[in-house]
Amino acid sequence: MSSILDISNTRWRDQLMPATFKGARFHCEVAGIQSGRRIVQHEFPKKELPYAEDMGRAAAVFTVRGYCIAYPFDEDAFYQRDYRQARNLLAQKLNEIGSGELQLPTYRPLQVVCSQYQLTEEERFGGYCIFNMVFQEQGVDPQQYTPGEDT
């Protein structure tokens, strides 16, 4: 029986980026995006058909499950025997006010804000912690918006 690792087309693997938020590195286990269209559904008295009004694209929301883990030797600020340094730096960046750059392994860099995160550590998995993070795209300040900049 073969596995996905047997597929010879590894171009996408060669282009994976390390996961970071505001420069704090973490391992990315799962990442997802939720978006769509902002639709207002109008229903009228004594009419059988509704009208769906498109109000534009909905802001993207990124859910990310990442982790920090201990390594058998110290190599740099990220690969350490004590995972708590990487954990503390990521938690600090997640708590900072303002937007920052989120780099996920398979996405282009994004300007986002962290709306919430959950840090989980279990004693039986010593040297390992999980971050469940929710990011929202930063977008553009409407007072600084110039028509024609829509992308």
Give tens-digit pLDDT for 106-137. 889 999 999 999 999 988 878 889 999 999 99
Burial of 62 (0-12, 13-18, 19+ CB in 10 A): buried
Give just the sign of the alpha carbon dihedral 101, 141, 118, 86.
Answer: positive
Give tens-digit pLDDT for 77-89. 677 788 888 999 9
Cβ(118)–Cβ(132) below 8 Å: yes
**Better pLDDT: 37 or 16:** 37
Give the pLDDT of residue 22: 96
Give tens-digit pLDDT for 65-79. 999 988 777 777 677
